[in-house]
Amino acid sequence: MPELPEVETVKNDLAPNVTGLTVTGLEVTWPKAVKGSSPEGLKTALVGRRIVEVARRAKYLLFRLDDGRTLVVHLKMTGALLWTEGNCRSGGPYIRTVIYLDRGCIEFRDPRKFGSLWLTDDETGFLRGLGPEPLEPAFTAEVLARILSRRSAPVKAVLLDQTALAGLGNMYADEALFEARIHPLKKAGELGGDETKRLHRAIRLVLRKGVEAGGASVATYFRPDGSKGYSQEQFRVAHQRNGVCPRCGGGLEYIKVRGRGTIFCPKCQKL
């Protein structure tokens, strides 16, 4: 699933190309992708609108329009937004939506059909309830400590809770916990001060590295130009099932935490 680094990369790649362009058409081949409206209703609302800004909040992409409304896109598990400056690509079985612009188009590729598009005139209300952004300066170790102190759930589960912390997903949570030497099943509220500081540093470190690497292309994620990110090449435990710990040389372990596959080192991340 695209997480914060992947969605941030898509935003960074698309913004200089599509900001200032006007929507000239919309083609929807998977109507269920459109939420809160019909495909025809969305087309009517979008055509003629100019994109004034491309932003990100948590795992949502935000296309802010000149009429004050926002087109919100969630890539879900397998989504990717592909950008073509000239004629659009020939399409394919996984292209669910095409946004035509006065110079090029954005294609929403989504093999498993979980991705969604919304048009909202209340962006703040739509995004209400999301936790703090972990790469923002306001996200300090003290803020993380307050978030964790109120939770009795395993720390891995809390990191994945978008109301607690926005944008972190399974891959980067595993990486951050390994970096901080914290067992994923440890109760969030029981982390000590030093552990919380280590985790805070680790979260910001692995997310920054992920953004710098253009995200992780472990399955269906592509950058808007069709290229792949290489964050997965830096992973130390994520997607390393049956692997060896790069720190101690012991075997990595795979468990489920609240239904989510989790990989960690039982020697380096003791409970």
- pLDDT tens figures, 94-132: 999 999 999 999 999 999 999 999 999 999 999 999 999
Given a cut of 90, whether residue 88 has pLDDT beyond it is no
Q: Which of 11, 56, 57, 59 is catalytic?
A: 59
> What are the pLDDT digits (tens) for 134-170?
999 999 999 999 999 989 999 999 999 999 999 999 9
Active site residue 2: yes
- For the chain, the average pLDDT equals 96
CATH architecture group of domain 4-126: Alpha-Beta Barrel (3.20)
Confidence class of residue 214 from pLDDT cuts 50, 70 and 90?
A: very high
Given a cut of 80, whether residue 1 has pLDDT beyond it is no
Active site residue 3: yes
* Chain centre distance of CA 262: 18
* Chain centre distance of CA 82: 16
Instruction: State residue 120's pLDDT score.
Output: 98
| % of residues, the chain, pLDDT over 90 | 95
Instruction: State residue 93's pLDDT score.
Output: 81
Confidence class of residue 87 from pLDDT cuts 50, 70 and 90?
A: confident
Of 2-6, 85-89, 148-152, minimum mean pLDDT range: 85-89
SS3 per residue for the chain: CCCHHHHHHHHHHHHHHHCCCEEEEEEECCHHHEECCCHHHHHHHHCCCEEEEEEEECCEEEEEECCCCEEEEECCCCCEEEEECCCCCCCCCCEEEEEEECCEEEEEECCCCCCEEEEECCHHHHCCCCCCCCCCCCCCHHHHHHHHHCCCCEHHHHHHCCCCCCCCCHHHHHHHHHHHCCCCCCEHHHCCHHHHHHHHHHHHHHHHHHHHCCCECCCCCCCCCCCCCEHHHHCCCCCCCCCECCCCCCECEEEEECCEEEEECCCCCCC
Cβ proximity of 107 and 101 under 8 Å: no
Active site residue 123: no
Mean pLDDT of 192-217: 98
Given a cut of 80, whether residue 91 has pLDDT beyond it is no
Instruction: Tell me the Ramachandran region of residue 92: left when phi exceeds 0, alpha when psi lies from -120 to 50, beta otherwise.
Output: left
Confidence class of residue 92 from pLDDT cuts 50, 70 and 90?
A: confident
Given a cut of 90, whether residue 89 has pLDDT beyond it is no
Q: 253 burial class (0-12, 13-18, 19+ CB within 10 angstroms)? A: middle
Angle at the Cα of 65 from the Cα atoms of 136 and 137, rounded to 5 degrees: 5
Q: How far apart are CA 56 and CA 63, in angstroms?
A: 9
Instruction: State residue 164's pLDDT score.
Output: 97
Instruction: State residue 191's pLDDT score.
Output: 98
Given a cut of 70, whether residue 90 has pLDDT beyond it is no
Whole-model pTM? 0.95
Instruction: State residue 257's pLDDT score.
Output: 97
Q: Which of 133, 260, 266, 267 is catalytic?
A: 260
Q: How far apart are CA 15 and CA 195, in angstroms?
A: 37
Mean pLDDT of 158-184: 98
So where are the chain's domains? Answer: 4-126, 141-264
Topology (CATH level 3) of domain 141-264: Helicase, Ruva Protein; domain 3 (1.10.8)
Mean pLDDT of 19-32: 96
